[in-house]
């Protein structure tokens, strides 16, 4: 009994000694480990410094795809503890050797569906090389009809807007980029060389519209600088908890703003989100490689209605 009493008194003394550390006055106990985001690339530094979305950087790489085109691939832990992976094209349209064009299945002015790396093959040729690309507009999954407009090499394939929420991205005949709604389209339609449709407006003349839909999904979005000479395209993977969880519209806004976009829109996401690059200057059957992980069919590409491809002239 004496040993038990000694043990009990020792336990009580220890409990009393620890009590002040747990009082309401001192607040909750905090972990001694603190996350610190240490980006390695210029674009990722902008995202870390200006968005508050990134708690810790896991991998951060950047490389020149072709003259005028920079790619950044960033894997990180978000500010709410989620694994994330994003991919970005930065396209400098002041470089006369590079541009963006609308891609369609089989390179035809018709509605159908085809994976983007296959669409790229039909676009690719000497003097008109495809170096990378992404999916574009939302579409009717039964027949491939896109919801927004389509212009290809100056040809207006589709000029109607589904509703007031439909937006577009375009390349004007002077080589600069434009983003807007139907009213903006009516101002520039006679000068459009390339165009694809989109949906939610993320940035409008430098302002961030309030987003009421907080749904987190894989996303593809596109933004342009105020002068229309810089284009930013981002794909964020999702629906894969341990790899990447996706973003909501408000987070997309912050990322596009940090990159330098003055106008930006969301384009088709979910299983459609596709980010691919060319891995050789030659024309082998394997010259286009998927960099992201589409959420459909275990990472397999979805057949989509159209896309945007980066062309060197």
Q: What is the pLDDT of residues 102-124, one digit of tens each?
A: 999 999 999 999 999 999 999 99
- For residues 243-250, give the mean pLDDT: 98
Quickly state the pLDDT bin for 295 (edges 50, 70, 90): very high
Residue 71's beta-bridge partner residues? 63, 89
CA distance 230 to 238: 26
Quickly state the pLDDT bin for 16 (edges 50, 70, 90): very low
Quickly state the pLDDT bin for 21 (edges 50, 70, 90): very low
Closest CA to 103 of 94, 91, 115: 115
Tokens encoding 248: 């909501």
Q: Characterise 175 by phi-psi region: left (phi > 0), alpha (psi -120 to 50), beta (else).
A: left
Share of the chain above pLDDT 90, in %: 87
- For residues 286-311, give the mean pLDDT: 95
- For residues 22-50, give the mean pLDDT: 69
CA distance 300 to 272: 10
Q: Using the structure block, give the residue that is written with the tokens 């963006």.
A: 100
What pLDDT, on the 0 to 100 scale, is given for residue 100?
98
What pLDDT, on the 0 to 100 scale, is given for residue 309?
98
Asked whether the predicted pLDDT for residue 13 surpasses 60, the reply is: no
Q: Which residues of 87-114 are buried (b: 16+ CB within 10 A; e: fewer)?
A: bbbbbebebeebbbbbbbbebeeebbbb
Asked whether the predicted pLDDT for residue 138 surpasses 70, the reply is: yes
Quickly state the pLDDT bin for 35 (edges 50, 70, 90): low
Task: List all residues 6 or more positions away from 30 whose beta carbon is below 8 Å from its beta carbon.
Answer: none
- For residues 123-138, give the mean pLDDT: 97
Share of the chain above pLDDT 70, in %: 89
Q: What is the pLDDT of residues 37-71, one digit of tens each?
A: 899 999 999 999 999 999 999 999 999 999 999 99
Asked whether the predicted pLDDT for residue 4 surpasses 70, the reply is: no
Asked whether the predicted pLDDT for residue 6 surpasses 70, the reply is: no
- CA triple 249-252-256, angle to 5 deg: 140
Closest CA to 222 of 265, 176, 254, 257: 265
Quickly state the pLDDT bin for 23 (edges 50, 70, 90): very low
């Amino acid at each position: 009994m004496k040993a038990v009493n000694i043990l009990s008194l020792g336990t009580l003394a220890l409990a009393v000694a620890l009590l002040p550390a747990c009082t309401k006055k001192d607040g909750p106990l905090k972990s001694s480990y603190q996350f610190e985001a240490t980006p390695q690339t210029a674009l990722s530094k902008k995202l870390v410094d200006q968005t508050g979305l990134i708690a810790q950087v896991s991998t951060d790489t950047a490389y020149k795809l072709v003259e005028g085109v920079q790619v950044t691939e960033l894997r990180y832990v978000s500010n709410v503890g989620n694994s994330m992976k994003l991919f970005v094209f930065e396209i400098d349209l002041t470089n006369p050797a590079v541009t963006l064009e609308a891609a369609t299945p089989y390179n035809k002015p018709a509605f159908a569906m085809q994976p983007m790396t296959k669409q790229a093959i039909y676009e690719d040729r000497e003097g008109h090389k495809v170096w990378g690309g992404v999916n574009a507009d939302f579409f009717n999954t039964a027949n491939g009809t896109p919801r927004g407009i389509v212009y290809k090499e100056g040809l207006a394939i589709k000029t109607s807007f589904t509703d007031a929420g439909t937006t577009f991205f375009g390349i004007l005949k002077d080589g600069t980029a434009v983003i807007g709604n139907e009213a903006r389209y009516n101002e520039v339609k006679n000068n459009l060389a390339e165009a694809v449709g989109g949906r939610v407006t993320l940035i409008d003349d430098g302002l961030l519209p309030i987003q009421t839909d907080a749904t987190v999904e894989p996303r593809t979005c596109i933004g342009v600088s105020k002068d229309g000479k810089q284009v930013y395209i981002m794909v964020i993977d999702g629906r894969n908890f341990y790899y990447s969880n996706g973003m909501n519209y408000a987070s997309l806004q912050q990322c596009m703003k940090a990159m330098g976009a003055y106008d930006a829109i969301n384009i088709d996401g979910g299983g459609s989100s596709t980010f691919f690059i060319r891995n050789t200057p030659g024309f082998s059957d394997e010259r286009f490689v998927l960099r992201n992980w589409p959420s459909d069919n275990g990472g397999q590409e979805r057949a989509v209605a159209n896309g945007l491809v980066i062309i060197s002239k």
